[in-house]
């Protein structure tokens, strides 16, 4: 069966006065039906931009400069905006944005805000009943919809926002750092909710986070992103047991883990994406840097069960 | 390193805020409720709790930025003389010895200042105005946090997040403090930087014998840096003890849940991770009894009416729970 969503060679560039920032550069990812994939990387690696690119929500000075996005084998990146908006955005691909729990307008009740989404996208059924259904889906009491956002806790707000994303029965949900502002206990509840939604609604999820440990708890497959490129891709178990790219290894060591006595850092900085050096983008921080890394950029290559872009693997 | 005398002590400290009262119903928020802690010279106490648990308010009160509603904060200087710390009674000399660094390095320092000026200004107000002396102090602080002197002529906005947080630490160190409140100093930083800043603070603690109240919501971060850990929940300390004991033998159901809920890089841990049986936080605070009882998986009749006191269960390890 072909993947539900396929991103090929996606390029999102920002045209800044200091140069062209290549935030997402020739990225390929795919998502199968019913799957949860993870995209991990530190801030500035381009993971949110990738998500916004798929949703076609890039604002100038950013532009989608190349690539294709296939949804069920239909190319959607170059569809007229009107068609994409009426048939895909929110209907088939919905997104929970970073910090979206603060995305509700404080002056309207949750119910009215979800009803507005239903109305704008031409929902034909009874909107009140749909809101109640959605609230139950995310394990909230329907009466909570009649509260104002400030009357909800952080976890409840995040649930309500997920309910809003699910309003039109999307097949794909992109969750961008959905738990970052929540405490760890609430975080597990939100993760459990996403798993439950996948099971009950047969929804596929793209989970974006900087927390590789959290990702390993939910994702079936993982993409590791660095400076606009995917540097490693494999099943979660393979990445966790046998990380290949030096960046993945360092990222895993930097995770605060209650069973470890240390937290390691990754010295150095991500390169300026407007002034990328020739060769590998990780060369400035890599402990294993070689001559070839400074000349030629490595491409993703199959190594055992993983795909990795690193000259260490020939 | 051995721990010395007490530097900061709070006695039955209470900080209440009144909310509403104009158009809405008046309510009292007990940000810090009956907290007694002691921090020794050279000790790092990790204060762990979720947002809204009152950990920042407690930190601010210990350096005299917030007036206590009841109870006391006492500071003992190097000669062992005690001073009562409140915003009214604190003197300039004592304020210098109690410093704080903040969560967000992007808003705690004016980005349009030169780095040198951002450091010179507090020294100026402290009465240090000789150029040579200023430079000596700044250089020493920069050495401690590993920043190159060349950055002194840059503007603050030119610095990266990690450099800014180091600058904030350097600024706090210039006054040669006895006690530092580090309020979520690594929360805003990337995973790659977290470990580096934590190591910096550890080194400074060892080389200067500085006492630190390290506020964080990440238990594993506290584990790495702190000698003792205090777990705070809705204004109360629910468990406090040596780091090793807290991690190996967490007693309070909240502490246990925190440890269990922390994601780990072990695919085998997945099932455990998903079995956290503590309910989500509601915005409604319990009116009586243990503050944790609406979420507690082991709740008993007694928990709903009586608030448990902190009880010593093993040497130095206290817990406030009726299970013990």
Structure tokens at B170: 């350097």
B45-49 mean pLDDT: 95
Return the beta strands (E) in chain A as ranges.
5-16, 19-31, 36-40, 62-71, 74-75, 93-96, 172-176, 204-209, 221-226, 229-235, 301-303, 306-308
In a domain, A240, yes or no: yes
Read off the pLDDT of residues B170-218 as tens digits, 9 standing for 90 and up. 999 998 999 999 998 888 777 778 888 898 999 999 999 999 999 998 8
The CATH number of the domain holding residue A221 is 3.40.50.300
> Is A112 inside any structural domain?
no
**For residues A202 and A172, what is the distance between their CA atoms, to the nearest angstrom?**
9
Phi and psi of B42, rounded to 5°? Answer: 80, 5
B194 Cβ under 8 Å from any chain A Cβ: yes
Of A108, A188, A180, the residue nearest A148 (C-alpha): A108
Average pLDDT over residues B231-247: 94
Q: How far apart are CA A302 and CA A309, in angstroms?
A: 9
Q: Are residues A210 and B273, on separate chains, in Cβ contact within 8 Å?
A: no
**Neighbouring C-alpha atoms within 13 Å toward the C-beta of A46:** 29
Confidence of residue B4 (pLDDT cuts 50, 70, 90): low
Return the axis-axis angle of helices B191-208 and A246-253, rounded to nearest 10°.
50
Buried b / exposed e over A254-266, threshold 16 CB at 10 Å, is bbbbbeeeebbbb
Domain boundaries, chain B: 6-248, 250-324
Flag whether pLDDT at B1 surpasses 50.
Answer: no
Local confidence band at B282 (pLDDT 50, 70, 90 cut-offs): low
Place of tokens 């605060």: A256
Higher-pLDDT residue of B273, A97: A97
pLDDT of residue A151: 86
User: Which chain A residues have a beta carbon less than 8 Å from that of B269?
Assistant: 217
**CB–CB contact A185 B50 (8 Å):** yes
Predicted confidence (pLDDT) at residue B263 exceeds the cutoff of 70: yes
* Closest by CA position to B166, among listed B180, B148, B179, B153: B148
Q: Does B299 touch chain A (CB under 8 A)?
A: no
> Is A150 part of a structural domain of the chain?
no
**B116 contacts B178 by C-beta, under 8 angstroms:** no
pLDDT of residue B21: 65
For residue B191, give the 3-state DSSP assignment.
Answer: helix
Report ipTM (2 d.p.).
0.81
Residues of B in contact with A250 (CB under 8 A): 192
Q: From the list A185, A186, A256, which residue is nearest B221 (CB)? A: A256
CATH class of B6-248: alpha beta
Give the C-alpha separation, B169 to A180, whole Å.
25
Residue of A nearest to B48 (CA): A183
**Phi, psi (degrees; rounded to nearest 5) at A87:** -110, -25
Instruction: Using a pLDDT cut of 70, give the percent of chain B over it.
Output: 96
**B188 interfacial to chain A (CB closer than 8 Å):** no
Exposure b/e, B124-140, CB count within 10 A at least 16 = b: eeeeeeeeeebeebbee
Chain A residues close to B221, C-beta within 8 Å: 256, 263
Provide the domain limits for residue A58: 5-92+170-313
**Using CB atoms, which residue from A151, A192, A240 is nearest to B267?**
A240
Question: Is residue A71 one of the residues assigned to a domain?
Answer: yes
Query: How high is the pLDDT of residue A310?
Result: 95
d(CA A178, CA B12): 38
Residue A103 lies in a domain: no
Instruction: Say if A87 falls within a structural domain.
Output: yes
pLDDT at B281 over 50: yes
Domain count, chain A: 1
Instruction: Give, for all 314 residues of chain A, the pLDDT tens digit.
Output: 789 999 999 999 999 988 899 999 999 999 999 999 999 988 888 999 999 999 999 999 999 999 999 999 899 999 999 999 989 999 999 999 877 777 888 899 999 999 999 998 888 899 999 999 999 999 999 999 999 998 888 888 999 999 999 999 999 999 998 888 788 888 888 999 999 999 999 999 999 998 899 999 999 999 999 999 999 999 999 999 999 999 999 999 888 887 778 888 888 888 888 888 899 999 999 999 999 999 999 999 999 999 999 999 97
Query: Is residue A127 included in any domain, yes or no?
Result: no
Question: Which residues of chain A from 222 to 261 reach within 8 Å of chain B, CB to CB?
Answer: 236-237, 240-241, 250-252, 254-261
């Amino acid at each position: 069966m072909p993947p539900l969503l396929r991103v090929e060679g996606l390029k999102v560039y920002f045209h800044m006065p200091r140069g062209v920032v290549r935030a997402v550069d020739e990225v390929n990812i795919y998502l199968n039906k019913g799957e949860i994939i993870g995209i991990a990387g530190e801030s500035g690696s381009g993971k949110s931009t990738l998500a916004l690119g798929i949703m076609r929500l890039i604002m100038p000075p950013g532009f989608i400069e190349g690539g294709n996005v296939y949804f069920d084998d239909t190319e959607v990146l170059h569809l007229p905006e009107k068609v994409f908006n009426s048939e895909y955005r929110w209907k088939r691909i919905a997104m929970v944005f970073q910090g979206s729990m603060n995305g509700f307008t404080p002056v309207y009740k949750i119910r009215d805000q979800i009803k507005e989404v239903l109305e704008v996208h031409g929902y034909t059924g009874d909107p009140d009943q749909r809101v109640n259904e959605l609230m139950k889906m995310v394990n909230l009491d329907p009466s909570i919809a009649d509260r104002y956002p400030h009357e909800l806790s952080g976890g409840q707000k995040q649930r309500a926002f997920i309910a809003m994303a699910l309003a039109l029965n999307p097949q794909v949900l992109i969750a961008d750092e959905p738990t970052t502002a929540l405490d760890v206990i609430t975080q597990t509840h939100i993760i459990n909710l996403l798993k439950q939604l996948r099971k009950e609604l047969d929804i596929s999820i793209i989970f974006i986070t900087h927390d590789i440990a959290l990702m390993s708890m939910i994702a079936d497959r993982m993409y590791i992103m660095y400076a606009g490129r995917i540097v490693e891709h494999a099943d979660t178990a393979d990445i966790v047991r046998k990380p290949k790219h030096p960046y993945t290894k360092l990222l895993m060591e930097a995770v605060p883990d209650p069973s470890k006595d240390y937290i390691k850092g990754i010295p150095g900085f991500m390169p300026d994406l407007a002034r990328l050096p020739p060769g590998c983008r990780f060369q400035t921080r890599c402990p294993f840097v070689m001559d070839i890394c400074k000349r030629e950029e490595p491409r993703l290559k199959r190594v055992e069960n993983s795909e990795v872009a690193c000259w260490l693997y020939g | 390193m051995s721990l010395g005398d007490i530097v900061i002590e709070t006695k039955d400290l209470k900080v209440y805020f009144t909310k509403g009262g104009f158009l809405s119903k008046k309510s009292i928020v007990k940000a810090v409720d009956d907290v007694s802690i002691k921090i020794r010279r050279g000790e790092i106490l990790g204060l762990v709790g979720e947002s809204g648990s009152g950990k920042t308010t407690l930190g601010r009160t210990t350096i005299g930025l917030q007036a206590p509603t009841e109870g006391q904060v006492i500071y003992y200087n190097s000669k062992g003389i005690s001073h009562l710390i409140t915003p009214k009674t604190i003197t300039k000399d004592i304020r210098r010895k109690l410093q704080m660094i903040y969560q967000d390095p992007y808003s705690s320092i004016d980005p349009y200042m030169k780095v040198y000026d951002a450091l010179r200004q507090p020294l100026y107000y402290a009465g240090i105005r000789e150029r040579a002396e200023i430079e000596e102090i700044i250089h020493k602080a920069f050495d401690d946090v590993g920043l190159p002197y060349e950055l002194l002529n840059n503007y603050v906005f030119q610095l990266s997040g990690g450099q800014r947080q180091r600058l904030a630490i350097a600024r706090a160190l210039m006054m040669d403090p006895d006690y530092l409140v580090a309020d979520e100093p690594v929360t805003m930083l990337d995973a790659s930087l977290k470990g580096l800043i934590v190591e910096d603070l550890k080194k400074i603690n060892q080389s200067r014998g500085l006492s630190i109240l390290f506020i964080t919501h990440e238990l594993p971060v506290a584990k790495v840096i702190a000698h003792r850990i205090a777990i705070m929940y809705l204004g109360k300390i629910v468990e406090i003890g040596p780091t090793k004991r807290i991690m190996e033998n967490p007693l309070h159901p909240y502490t246990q849940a925190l440890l269990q809920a922390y994601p780990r890089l072990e695919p085998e841990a997945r099932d455990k991770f998903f079995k956290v049986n503590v309910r989500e936080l509601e915005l409604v605070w319990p009116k009586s009894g243990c503050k944790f009882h609406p979420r507690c998986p082991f709740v008993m009749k007694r928990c709903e009416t009586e608030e448990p006191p902190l009880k010593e269960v093993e040497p130095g390890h206290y817990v406030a729970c009726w299970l013990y």
